[in-house]
Amino acid sequence: MTAKKTVLILGASYGTLLATKLALAGHDATLVCLPAEAEAINAGGTRVRIPVRGREGKIEVASSALPGRIAATTPDAADPAAFDLVALAMQEPQYRAPEIRALLGRVEAAGKPMMSIMNMPPLPYLARLPGVDVATIRNASADASVWGGISPSRMTLASPDPQAFRPDPQDPTLLEVSLPTNFKVAAFEDPAHTAILEALAADIEAARFEHEGEAIALPVKLKVHASLYVPLAKWAMLLTGNYRCVQDDTVIPIREAVHADPAASREVYEWVCRLCVEMGAAPEDMVPFEKYANAAQGLAKPSSAARALAAGAPAIERVDALVQALGRARGMSHPSVDRTVARVDAWLERNRAKAG
């Protein structure tokens, strides 16, 4: 194992999965969350239930059994200067909150590297992609000004391929993993920052969990890639499954969105992949449709974005609008993508009207 690292993770829902993998590898993670969540986590620790190939059911991993430490704090109390790395694991609209915006400013002032595991790539990361004019995609962000002071050189992106959810919204200490795939992260501009990622990735790969007297490897690894485009492979999955869960007046499971019409799903998926290649990705940076479609068979719930809309959310992450805007900037469009964006727009308009 390398020297212990400390990681500050903004977001205690999805972020708990990354924190657990870090703590299993002997590193320390601090989750930034609401006061009640922080109190519950600091009092009782966290638990993650994760499926392991070849075993029935899911294995529960309690933070109290791990060599590293998981703690929690509030945005106002977080001191980024005390950490080696900062991970962004909240829904993109949440960064508009004054206390989160202020925390991002302290992260930048401390010169700390940031790794996003959000579905919506932060604008400073997109600014690292050659040929992308950030001015043309600002409207896809909930509030583009949040990212105005963040240096692109200290921002990277991990594809949030693993799927996880809180089975009990009233229990912030428990997270359940439904799809235990890997975080694929692009290198930083600074090799010293990339070295932090590589050390964490190696330790996560080597870590084992003691379960019923046996040391087992748990899924969900951190994989570091030189290509800036590897994390963008998630876009085709989001546009094919997650956002197509959103129908005119209801939401449907990801599995149904993908497999109700496999030919239509393949067409959307491959269009998004072509867009990424037009932007500079290599074809091998993308994930084949067949692999995604097979994984989607196990996704029996609507996506988090669809569930949020159904619950009345006035704002969600808009990767659908981002992909549409990037396509239009290159003279590319797809009717299914346009229809999806229009549906999400309509849901948000209705939700905002109801909220007053």
Domain parsing of the chain, residue ranges: 6-225, 230-355
Q: Residue 114 has what pLDDT?
A: 98
Q: Classify residue 170 by its DSSP letter.
A: T
Q: Residue 356 has what pLDDT?
A: 83
Residue 103 pLDDT > 90, yes or no? yes
The first and second tokens of residue 79, run together, are: 């001191």
Summarised one tens digit per residue, pLDDT across range 8-51 is 999 999 999 999 999 999 999 999 999 999 999 999 999 999 99
Residues of the chain with pLDDT > 70: what percent?
Answer: 100
Cα(62)–Cα(345) distance, rounded to whole angstroms?
Answer: 40
State if pTM tops 0.85: yes
Q: Which CATH architecture has domain 230-355?
A: Orthogonal Bundle (1.10)
Cα(351)–Cα(118) distance, rounded to whole angstroms?
Answer: 23
Residue 1 pLDDT > 80, yes or no? no
CATH fold of 6-225, please?
Rossmann fold (3.40.50)
8 Å CB contact between 78 and 109: no
Residue 315 pLDDT > 90, yes or no? yes
- Across the chain, how many H-helices and E-strands are there? 12, 14
CB atoms within 10 A of CB 170: 7
The amino acid sitting at 265 is S
DSSP, collapsed to helix, strand or coil, labels residue 169 as: coil
Average pLDDT over residues 250-279: 98
Residues of the chain with pLDDT > 90: what percent?
Answer: 95
The number of residues in the chain equals 356
For the chain, how far is it from start to end, CA to CA, in angstroms? 53
Summarised one tens digit per residue, pLDDT across range 214-227 is 999 999 999 999 99
8 Å CB contact between 117 and 149: no
The amino acid sitting at 214 is E
Label residue 155 by pLDDT band (50, 70, 90). very high
Q: Classify residue 62 by its DSSP letter.
A: E
Q: Residue 54 has what pLDDT?
A: 87
Average pLDDT over residues 138-162: 95
Q: Residue 2 has what pLDDT?
A: 79
Cα(330)–Cα(339) distance, rounded to whole angstroms?
Answer: 19
Average pLDDT over residues 105-128: 97
Q: Which residues contact 179 (CB under 8 A, 6 or more apart)?
A: 161, 162, 163, 295, 298, 299
Mean pLDDT, the chain, rounded, equals 96
